[in-house]
Amino acid sequence: MTKVQLEVRGRVAVVTIDNPPVNALGAAVREGLANAVKAANADAAVAAIVIASAGKAFIAGADISEFGKPPAAPSLPDVLDAIEGSAKPVVAAIQGVGLGGGLEVALACHGRVALPGAKLGLPEIKLGIIPGAGGTQRLPRLIGAAKAFPMMLSGEPVSAGKALEYGLLDEVVSSDVVTAAIRLAEALAAEGRRPVTSAATGELTEADREAFEALAREALKKADGMPNVLALVEAVRASFALSFAEGAAVERKLFLSLVADERSKALRHVFFAEREVAKVPGIGPEVKPREIASAAVIGAGTMGGGIAMCFANAGIPVTLIETAKAALDNGVNRIGAIYDISVSRGSLTPEAKAGRMALIKPAVGLAAAAGADIVVEAAFEEMGVKQQIFGELDKVAKPGAILASNTSYLDVPTIAAATKRPQDVIGMHFFSPANVMKLLEIVRPQGAADDAIATAVALGRKLAKVPVVVGNGFGFVGNRMLERRTRAAERLLIAGALPHEVDAALVGFGFKMGPFAMADLAGNDIGWRSRKARGLKAAVADAICEAGWFGQKTGRGYYIYPQGARAGQRCPEVEALIARISAEQGVTRRSFTQEEILARLLDPMVNEGARILEEGIAARPGDIDIVWINGYNWPAWRGGPMFWADSVGLDLIVKRLEAQAAEIDDKALEPAPLLRRLAAEEKGFASLKG
Ligand code: TC6
């Protein structure tokens, strides 16, 4: 079936794009569109043209999977020039999303009609690029740069109502958008009118230019050197200084160089990985999720409270359970205080806060979990505690309820063994702060029912999380890899680097914080307790805790925080302590370049990621990338650890790991067989897809 159909209704040619699932503008669609407009122009019986679409979307933009491949004619800018240059007026009939190249198609038309649910936007910035088919030139000419620039800078779509107010749409109709578009097209033809956006300059006033320049200054301050933001400013600026054709040429050149940039490749990888992660191997659409109308959360600490907020934010009533009234009151007060911050910032109304608080029902004792469709346990991270809770839950929870543990390390089947319904027991690992962090690791132990997993995935999306299904195994995906980085960071200190140097390497890479600043923020005692429980030692980290330097909360950790300051300062005592430990261990300290530090921190993570893939704990390399981007602030434009490893070259990573393994007594540094194999075959992790 052709992807573009042409049907003449009366004197109007209706061109319908039909390219499921979202009518992306792949080569066949571009060609079909160009041919249809040409044919309609050649047909003497046709007075005007409507561009419409089949399915839910108008057009979701260029076909992102074509980026980076050899270009196929006709290019979108050429097709759009043909549409705008059509001797007969062309009107877009917009339903659903008109994004990126999709909005650019509409902008090249001579009129635009939409349904109220339509959403229009230029989200290219999120893919590390800028609009590349005239968007940066046509949109400012149509609605003014002061409105167009923020749309392109945020990438967020506007509603049909807003678009009408902006003058981006001619009309919003409540139904039958194609008929309304035909009407407008006939009217334009009868009037002999063909309003051409590229020729319009009325909106580009001096006041608009000044307003745009002020916005551009702000954007550049925050851009942190991201080339797409710099390019966007340059392209929009060109719309004031240059003719449409010259401005479009500036835009095209910038667009092509951005598409080729590694950062955009990384963001495109993330786009597809985010969609792939939703597909759980072995669980097809025939597996229906169970209904979740109410929830219970066990433990009203920071984590439990944050999880309860996730439910309330999604409109799901949740019972928050503690063992004693005092702890419960503390937890509820903490939740109220967090909502108050949102109210004071204006991101939540007092009424909305009251509505959410009303959905959280505090209760003492596990019996209160009886009515819940899902119970999430967020109690102490100790197997004995968890088993006792699940044993009791088994007695009170209703049949078919999902029983989930928020454990971050422990063996989920051992927890499930405390119940007589292991098929309903899974892990749901939220990340702190749970009401903010997007990642949700869903742990799928052997024996868990498929519909229990499908329920957790569907629920995760409802809670506005990015759910990633992972296998059961110590630390699952994220924390297992994090542990490798934590060990590497400690080793670097003993070998000669200082905390601020290690942190700087990761911040330079794009993380918001390095491992030591992060540890100081989270509290060094947390890791200390966990090491003690597992009989592990870390000379520097232990010594810091033995000194009582637990981090920001005690005013000092790896750094000093004078008078509650959030940014730490170098601490001579800590640096002396590190030097002493190096000497005790007979290590001659040496200096490390930032590049060496980075490799020592990240290579062991990649190696562990390879093992995680070998063991089937993660289904795909992209799943690991999504975990790190959404749970650990790995910069999205670096694509995640496995994408990064491919860009470095697996051969180099193997060599660097071998060099470390020869120097350091840690078996985990031995390159994983999968990593070795791919490196030997000169392949990357990306080759494992599909
Ligand atoms: C641009 O236009 C530049 C133009 C200049 C040219 C010179 N391409 O998200 P969903 C697939 S840049 C290819 O799950 P939703 C997606 O992979 C582009 N594929 O659905 C998935 O495939 P799967 C600017 C695409 O309903 C399926 O469609 N546009 C594209 O939650 C369903 O996707 C954008 O950045 C695409 N453009 O959300 C818009 N879009 O089933 C990107 C989707 O095989 N897209 N797919 O896994 C979106 O924001 C959302 O997909 C959505 C639909 C809002 C359109």
Question: How many A from CA of 388 to the centre of ligand 1?
Answer: 46
Question: How many A from CA of 61 to the centre of ligand 1?
Answer: 7
Q: What is the mean pLDDT of the chain?
A: 96
Ligand 1: nearest atom to the Cα of 60: 55
Ligand 1: nearest atom to the Cα of 63: 8
Residue whose CA is closest, atom 15 of ligand 1?
A: 22
Asked if residues 204 and 141 have their Cβ atoms less than 8 Å apart, the reply is yes
Bond prior to 621 in cis (omega within 30° of 0)? no
Higher pLDDT, 9 or 382: 9
Question: How many A from CA of 60 to the centre of ligand 1?
Answer: 5
DSSP characters for 208-249? Answer: HHHHHHHHHHHHHHHSTT-HHHHHHHHHHHHHHHS-HHHHHH
In residues, how long is the chain? 690
d(Cα 105, Cα 397) in Å, to the nearest integer? 54
3 state SS of 613: helix
In percent, the amount of the chain with pLDDT more than 90 equals 94
Q: What is the mean pLDDT of residues 195-222?
A: 92
Q: What is the mean pLDDT of residues 44-65?
A: 97
- Least reliable range by pLDDT among 432-446, 460-474, 562-576: 562-576
Ligand 1: nearest atom to the Cα of 64: 8
Residue whose CA is closest, atom 24 of ligand 1?
A: 100
Residue whose CA is closest, atom 52 of ligand 1?
A: 60
Report yes or no for ipTM above 0.90.
yes
The pLDDT of residue 1 is 67
Asked if residues 80 and 277 have their Cβ atoms less than 8 Å apart, the reply is no
DSSP characters for 77-118? Answer: HHHHHHHHT-SS-EEEEE-SEEETHHHHHHHHSSEEEE-TT-
Which among 22, 159, 228 is the best mutation to test ligand 1's pocket, defined by most ligand atoms within 8 Å of the CB? 22
Question: How many A from CA of 57 to the centre of ligand 1?
Answer: 10
| pLDDT tens digits, one per residue of 551-605 | 999 999 999 998 877 889 999 999 999 999 999 999 999 999 999 999 999 999 9
pTM, two decimals, is 0.93
The pLDDT of residue 512 is 93
* Helix axes of 262-276 and 641-648: crossing angle, nearest 10 degrees: 140
Q: What is the mean pLDDT of residues 52-68?
A: 96
The pLDDT of residue 593 is 98
| pLDDT tens digits, one per residue of 652-665 | 999 999 999 999 98
Which among 80, 105, 275, 277 is the best mutation to test ligand 1's pocket, defined by most ligand atoms within 8 Å of the CB? 275
Please say if 124 is a catalytic residue: yes
3 state SS of 427: strand
| pLDDT class of 373 with cuts at 50, 70, 90 | very high
The pLDDT of residue 225 is 85
Residue whose CA is closest, atom 45 of ligand 1?
A: 60
Ligand 1: nearest atom to the Cα of 126: 35
* Helix axes of 145-154 and 135-143: crossing angle, nearest 10 degrees: 140
Q: How do strand 439-444 and strand 425-430 relate by DSSP bridges?
A: antiparallel
In percent, the amount of the chain with pLDDT more than 70 equals 100
The one-letter amino acid code at 653 reads I
Q: What is the mean pLDDT of residues 671-688?
A: 97
Residue whose CA is closest, atom 47 of ligand 1?
A: 275
φ/ψ of 588, rounded to 5, equals -85, 115
Q: Is the pLDDT of residue 68 over 90?
A: no
Residue whose CA is closest, atom 7 of ligand 1?
A: 132
The pLDDT of residue 544 is 97
Which are the contacts of 530, defined by CB distance < 8 A and separation ≥ 6? 381, 409
Question: How many A from CA of 22 to the centre of ligand 1?
Answer: 7
Question: How many A from CA of 63 to the centre of ligand 1?
Answer: 7
Choosing from 7, 84, 104, 351, the catalytic residue is 104
Task: List pocket residues of ligand 1, CB cut-off 6 Å.
Answer: 21-22, 24, 57, 60-65, 76, 97, 99-101, 123-124, 127, 132-133, 272, 275
The pLDDT of residue 565 is 79
Q: Which two tokens stand for residue 85?
A: 């240059």
Question: How many A from CA of 275 to the centre of ligand 1?
Answer: 9
The pLDDT of residue 310 is 98
Q: Is the pLDDT of residue 202 over 80?
A: no
Q: Which residues of 538-553 are buried (b: 16+ CB within 10 A; e: fewer)?
A: bbbbbebbeeebbbbe
| pLDDT tens digits, one per residue of 478-536 | 999 999 999 999 999 999 999 999 999 999 999 999 999 999 998 999 889 889 988 99
Question: How many A from CA of 418 to the centre of ligand 1?
Answer: 44
| pLDDT class of 448 with cuts at 50, 70, 90 | very high
d(Cα 565, Cα 555) in Å, to the nearest integer? 8
Question: How many A from CA of 282 to the centre of ligand 1?
Answer: 24
HSE-up (13 A, CA, CB side) for residue 22: 12
Choosing from 84, 124, 203, 608, the catalytic residue is 124
Ligand 1: nearest atom to the Cα of 61: 2
| pLDDT class of 50 with cuts at 50, 70, 90 | very high
Ligand 1: nearest atom to the Cα of 102: 2
Bond prior to 433 in cis (omega within 30° of 0)? yes
Q: Tokens 């039958």 identify what position?
A: 176
Q: Tokens 């939540």 identify what position?
A: 348
Q: Is the pLDDT of residue 379 over 60?
A: yes
Dihedral angle at the C-alpha atoms of 25, 31, 32, 38, nearest 10 degrees?
A: 130
Residue whose CA is closest, atom 14 of ligand 1?
A: 275
Ligand 1: nearest atom to the Cα of 272: 17
Residue whose CA is closest, atom 42 of ligand 1?
A: 60
Q: Is the pLDDT of residue 690 over 60?
A: no
Please say if 104 is a catalytic residue: yes
DSSP characters for 156-194? Answer: --EEHHHHHHHTS-SEE-SS-HHHHHHHHHHHHHHHT--
The radius of gyration of the chain from alpha carbons, rounded to an integer in Å, stands at: 29
DSSP characters for 1-43? Answer: --SEEEEEETTEEEEEE--TTTT-B-HHHHHHHHHHHHHHHH-
Among 666, 652, 541, 664, CA closest to 606: 652
The pLDDT of residue 567 is 86
Q: Tokens 């903490």 identify what position?
A: 334
Q: What is the mean pLDDT of residues 56-73?
A: 94
